[in-house]
Amino acid sequence: MSYTDIERQWTTRLRRRFVHLLPPEKLLPDTQPTYVSSWIYVFGVTTLAALVVVIASGSLLAIRGPQWWHTSSVGHFANSLHLWSVEIFFFAMVIHLWGKYFMAAWRGGRALTWMTGVVTFLTSIGAAFTGYVSQTNFDSQWISTQAKDGINATGAGAYFNVLDMGQMLMWHIVLLPLAAVVLTGLHVLLVRVKGVVPPFDEPAKVNA
Amino acid sequence: MRTKRFRPDVDVAPWKGGHAPYDIIKEGTIALVVVGLLTVMLAVVFGSPDEPAVTIKTWSNATPVDFAMTALSELNQTSGTAQYGAPYNTASTGQKLGPLELAKWVGARVPVNTVRDFVINPLKSLPDQPVLTADLRQWSTASTSTRDQWIKNYTKASTHLTFVNGQVTDTANNVGPVSVFINDLTQMARTGALDQALVTQSGFYTTNFTLPLLFLADGSYLANLALHQHLMGDQWGMMNETGNYPGQAWLWLYTFWYQIAPFNSSANADVLVWGIMMALSVVLILVPFIPGLRSLPRKTRVYRVIWREHYHNTAQ
Amino acid sequence: MSATQFAALLPLNTLGHYLHWHFIQISVANFVVIVLMVVTFVIALVAPFPGRRRRKENQ
């Protein structure tokens, strides 16, 4: 293979592109701008940490199946870990959203970072909802029979049947976590690529 | 050189100032440990709710007359499910979002016939019931108008339904096999056999609880339990959890619309509220592009508190 | 492991308490969570952040 052949390979081109966009010192930085000087900045990483605990506690529940927690105190404790990590996840995520809004964090070409964040938020609500209807208890019976009216009214109920526990459980443990993790990954990588948004400053002329 | 107008709510000059040491891995690790410990603490202190599921067996034993009335509503097709429309049947056009009949356009793709699925098929599954078998044959060979007359007569007398000595008793006349159907279905429900028959209509290995859940929701028992737990729509129930546990506070805006006019009395409330929330979600996604909305952070000056150290240092 | 080892210390299984204000009804639990969120947000904004001297040196 000639040198030109190697340069033209998909692997080579993708690697070069990725390393150009995100060199190691940008992917895992050891400094940050001095304006990052507020506790409001910790809520992004707190949300991320909570997502890790949500997935870990959910994995614990998966070990023994969806009925386990009704008859086992260990299982019930695993369920409690899952519930409270979800509460912390939404708690931190909403505060992170408030903080980023008041910083106008979309400035300087960071609109996609904002947008992926909001879509992740909406996806998380979907994941929480499918979780609630997968509990296999009175709560899931009530929530599913009520939510069906909202979802059916849009036409989506013909394909997304909230009364079908099997379907809801698989959306909850496979499809929506995958979507949430991919979107979160994109969101975090965008922050690394673009950097944390600088403060508002005096208007300046930008040379074209 | 051309000068592009600087838009303070969209543009920002690249940072040319200083950088301070930052340990990203350490920060992530601390966050994970703190969140992990907090989760364990909350789980140890408060646990989580687990109100047991309701079965048709519990319902029919607790309130047999309510069950019998619901069974009748499935047979005379006045129940919520029978009248629902898409995706279960074509009994109604469903809700409209302006001129859009979204559910109707998609159609009845989760077909439920309440007479067949909630009454006739479950009764047919009972073995060694000569009287019931004969009644089922009478029903299947009767004309539609005859069946309608039987049901009409039974419905007229249903306000006097009682449950005595384990039997549903009525004062109706000329009702054909309807009386037997309602009583036998109630007995079947009270043994637990109806729960099973409704689920296994779709096969042995099924995780689809559409039929028993629709049947439960058509009655009053489930709703009364929900009312007791403050979960009804007009109680802002969408936000709530059973007991004293925190629920889904983030759904406050979704359920808010249901509490006010015109949504609180509209037959199209569900699709209208969904439409509003979809629109607001799109607005939230597109904030960076919406003048006015994207200016509020600069105008409210909360950022002066966040970056006060930076402004203090640069002023010096 | 015994069942009691994993039982909650203060289970919140008693019937919920609710606050009413005009047409608004909110559970005490949800109200506490929302208040905590607002308080946490405000504290995050105003609380001093460590490393001030180091940042000033690197300005």
pLDDT in tens, B207-253: 999 999 999 999 999 999 999 999 999 999 999 999 999 999 989 99
B50, A142: Cβ pair inside 8 Å? no
Judgement on whether residues A53 and A78 belong to the same structural domain of the protein: yes
Residue A81 lies inside a defined structural domain of this protein: yes
Judgement on whether residues A175 and A129 belong to the same structural domain of the protein: yes
Residue A168's domain spans which residues?
A: 107-196
Q: Quick one: pLDDT at residue A27? A: 94
**Residue type at position A132:** Y
Query: What is the residue-averaged pLDDT of chain B?
Result: 94
Q: What are the residues whose beta carbons fall under 8 Å from the beta carbon of C50, sequence distance 6 or more?
A: none
Residue A11 lies inside a defined structural domain of this protein: no
> What is the rounded distance in angstroms from the CA atom of residue A19 to the CA atom of residue A26?
10
- The stretches in chain B having pLDDT less than 50 are none
Judgement on whether residues A115 and A189 belong to the same structural domain of the protein: yes
Q: Quick one: pLDDT at residue C55? A: 81
Task: Tell me the two tokens of residue B266.
Answer: 């509209």
Judgement on whether residues A124 and A84 belong to the same structural domain of the protein: no
A contact residues 69-108, partner C, Cβ 8 Å cutoff: 73-74, 76-77, 80, 87, 91, 94-95, 98-99
Domain termination residue (choose one: A103, A136, A157): A103
Count of domains forming chain A: 2
**Residue type at position A178:** L
Interval B272-292: pLDDT, tens: 999 999 999 999 999 999 999
Judgement on whether residues A181 and A122 belong to the same structural domain of the protein: yes
Determine if the pTM surpasses 0.80.
Answer: yes
CB B23 within 8 A of CB A34: no
Residue among B227, B228, B244 with most chain C CBs within 10 A, to mutate? B244
Q: What average pLDDT does this structure show over A42-57? A: 98
Residue among C49, C52, C53, C58 with most chain A CBs within 10 A, to mutate? C49
Is residue B100 classed as helix, strand or coil in its secondary structure?
strand
Between chain B and chain C, the number of residue pairs with CB atoms below 8 A apart is 94
Residue A184 lies inside a defined structural domain of this protein: yes
Judgement on whether residues A44 and A93 belong to the same structural domain of the protein: yes
> What is the rounded distance in angstroms from the CA atom of residue B110 to the CA atom of residue B245?
34
C contact residues 36-55, partner A, Cβ 8 Å cutoff: 36-37, 40-41, 43-45, 47, 49, 51-52, 55
Between chain A and chain C, the number of residue pairs with CB atoms below 8 A apart is 45
Question: Quick count: other Cβ atoms within 10 Å of Cβ A71?
Answer: 9
Judgement on whether residues A130 and A76 belong to the same structural domain of the protein: no
C32 touches chain B (CB under 8 A): yes
Judgement on whether residues A122 and A59 belong to the same structural domain of the protein: no
A contact residues 180-199, partner B, Cβ 8 Å cutoff: 195, 197-199
Judgement on whether residues A121 and A170 belong to the same structural domain of the protein: yes
Q: What average pLDDT does this structure show over C12-18? A: 87
Residue A114 lies inside a defined structural domain of this protein: yes
CB B207 within 8 A of CB A173: no
Residue A61 lies inside a defined structural domain of this protein: yes
Residue A113 lies inside a defined structural domain of this protein: yes
Residue A202 lies inside a defined structural domain of this protein: no
Judgement on whether residues A118 and A138 belong to the same structural domain of the protein: yes
Which of the pair, C35 or C13, is modelled with greater confidence?
C35
Residue A20 lies inside a defined structural domain of this protein: no
CB B265 within 8 A of CB A67: no
Residue A207 pLDDT more than 50? no
Of C28, C45, C59, the CB nearest to B305: C45
Judgement on whether residues A120 and A161 belong to the same structural domain of the protein: yes
Domain termination residue (choose one: A51, A78, A103): A103
Cβ-based contacts of B305 with chain C (< 8 Å): 45-46
B54, A138: Cβ pair inside 8 Å? yes
Judgement on whether residues A113 and A53 belong to the same structural domain of the protein: no
Of B43, B239, B309, the CB nearest to C52: B309
Of C6, C40, C47, the CB nearest to A74: C6
> What is the rounded distance in angstroms from the CA atom of residue A172 to the CA atom of residue A105?
30
